[in-house]
Amino acid sequence: MDEAALREMLDAVRSGAMTSDDAVAVLRRLPFADLGFARVDHHRALRLGMAETVYAPGKTPEQCAAIVAELLAQPGSSPVILSRADDEQAAAALAANPGGARTRATVVWRPAAERAERVVVVTAGTADQPVADECACTLAAHGFRPVRISDVGVAGLHRILDAVEELATADAVVVVAGMEGALASVVGGLTAAPVVAVPTSVGYGASLAGVTALLSMLASCASGITVVGIDNGFGAACAVVRLLPSAVTTRV
């Protein structure tokens, strides 16, 4: 249940198109539905502007499918996302809930209408692409059509300088980088848009599975960069959704 769906239901009750008993039946499932093994949060879109995402690791394929079905059954236009799913989990969820689109480990149902804001997703190297894909897929689920700038790490600085115009016109930028994570500082010095940095676990020994990039991004001399956890492309996308709230979720 999102804000638009709640307003639509209240208008239907007021106009007589929906009975109060029917409305109560819908509201009875708020703020959550207890499936026995999970309490599905139907109130999250109203509170945060983003519906609950199904985090697949640790869940059985059947549990993934049931939670997705519960989210899809409720009124509203919020996207439904299954994150970090393996082949078996994705297959079960798609079989029980047709119409989803899978990109690597992310499956999306009911993507939001396209938005006008321009979000750019930048990757330092090809090895960072899986994290960037998770980010881009989550952004697309929320209505953004992210522009991808790939393989522009600081080992060849001229590559990112070639994309300065694209960065200058962005409403938000996500930088995905491993190794020493320096690309976030470079991009942060080239654009006035909010920059969300994602350290990845890509790199040789002293990169410490992403810890070096994480600390580098946190210590960046480019002011105001937002940093999420290692390999957390999903979290970076959600940060952008919060930074660029839609007209539906913006409060007066």
Q: What is the pLDDT of residues 75-93, one digit of tens each?
A: 776 899 999 999 999 999 9
Query: 119-243: which CATH architecture?
Result: 3-Layer(aba) Sandwich (3.40)
pTM score of the predicted model: 0.83
Q: How far is 252 from 234, CA to CA, in rounded Å?
A: 28
CATH 3.40.50.1970 positions along the chain are 119-243
Encode pLDDT of 167-201 as tens digits: 999 999 999 999 999 999 999 999 999 999 999 99
Q: What is the mean pLDDT of residues 88-102?
A: 96
